Amino acid sequence: MNQYTSSPAEVCWVVSDGKAGMESQGVGLAEALGFDPVVKRIQVRRPWRWLPPLWVPDPVGSLGPKKDKLAPPWPEVLIASGRQSVGVSIAIRRAAAGRTFTIQIQNPAVDPARFDAIVTPRHDRLRAPNVIETIGGMNRVTAPRLAEAAAQFGPQWSDLPRPLVAVMLGGDNKVYRMPTRIGEALGRQLADMARREGAGLLVTPSRRTVPGVLTAIQRALDGVPARFWDGSGDNPYMAYLALADAVVVTADSVNMISEAATTGKPVYVVGLEGGSRKFSAFHAELREAGIARPFEGRLETWRYTALRETERAAAEIRSRLAARDDMETRSAAVN
């Protein structure tokens, strides 16, 4: 690894495999720390991508051609997310002789001591002195961004009645399934609720929403005051959060539920097929905190303390960075 050795630059990298949800967490944390981060997307080549990170002899050299350049000078702060980034993060920390402060998002499944800090949801059950636990995921939802999005998109939806309900659709992942029948049932629930409550709806699918589910919901909402984002133009997602009076989110997305919970507005979770211990623990924690409730086709009003996990994690990391700098200053003075 000597060929990579260099002093860190005054910059922050966010390294990910390009998955939007994970990258957004890294960028959100970097911005909360006061950085304008440089985003680096990586792809580990076969067969290295199938091996545990510590089995890869040269993590930086194992990256495929579809990657951003990783070379000195190394950053002052490195925020990495996703399984493919684990070995790269460890390698850069070693190459920079510890001068790059490495932050790993989510459980890296290796010795936590290989990083300066790990930010991971409480339901991961990872315990170590350098672990910062959060409720759910970090994000880029801030008051200024919400206000800007509301000003941009609000006039387009001024004809929709109140209460206004944002509907965030996910889809199949490793532990959940969203078959068409669930889309049909959800569509009926939303339509009945809108007619009964006089509500307007803002509906957005994700890349994991299968066409059959979206079509079923659109059919059910025919004649109901609703807007669907079709993927064209600017993404109105932040405006949905800003303008809605309540948010309905499918159970498969920790990120979308966490983002909704930063608004302080009622969050309803749509149950899907499947699940896991980690997801169950996450949903139970939000219910116990009074943040989220199962969606049963009714609108209720309740209050809770909005999640500020990104800011909280950033404050803890700033403290650790300051402690490290103080230690380095004292060491230099002694020497």
Query: Mean pLDDT, to the nearest integer, of 181-186?
Result: 97
133: left (phi over 0), alpha (psi -120 to 50) or beta: beta
- State whether 264 and 147 are in the same domain: yes
- State whether 153 and 290 are in the same domain: yes
Q: What is the pLDDT of residue 162?
A: 96
Q: Are strands 164-168 and 131-134 parallel, antiparallel or unpaired?
A: unpaired
Q: Which of 75-79, 180-184, 331-335 has the lowest mean pLDDT?
A: 331-335
Tokens of residue 190, six digits: 């939303």
* Residue that finishes a domain, picked among 78, 99, 134: 134
Per the omega criterion (within 30 degrees of 0), is the bond before 144 cis?
A: no
Query: Mean pLDDT, to the nearest integer, of 111-117?
Result: 95
Residue 202 inside a domain? The answer is yes
- State whether 126 and 202 are in the same domain: no
Per the omega criterion (within 30 degrees of 0), is the bond before 211 cis?
A: no
Q: What percent of the chain has pLDDT over 70?
A: 89
Residue type (1 letter), 2: N
Mean pLDDT score of the chain: 90
Tokens of residue 131, six digits: 């672990």
- State whether 263 and 175 are in the same domain: yes
Dist CA 151 CA 16 (whole Å): 31
Tokens of residue 199, six digits: 């509500």
List pLDDT tens digits, range 64-77: 677 788 889 999 99
* Residue where the block lists tokens 């050795």: 5
- State whether 44 and 162 are in the same domain: no
List pLDDT tens digits, range 131-178: 999 998 999 999 999 999 999 999 999 999 999 999 999 999 999 999
> Phi first, then psi: what are they for 261, rounded to 5°?
-75, -15
Dist CA 243 CA 241 (whole Å): 6
Residue 314 inside a domain? The answer is no
Q: What is the pLDDT of residue 44?
A: 78
Q: What is the pLDDT of residue 330?
A: 66
Per the omega criterion (within 30 degrees of 0), is the bond before 108 cis?
A: no
- State whether 147 and 110 are in the same domain: no
Residue 104 inside a domain? The answer is yes
CATH number of 285's domain: 3.40.50.2000
**What's the domain range around 152?**
143-294
Q: What is the pTM of this model?
A: 0.88
Residue type (1 letter), 73: P
What's the number of domains the chain is made of? 2
List pLDDT tens digits, range 72-111: 999 999 999 988 899 999 999 999 998 999 999 999 999 9
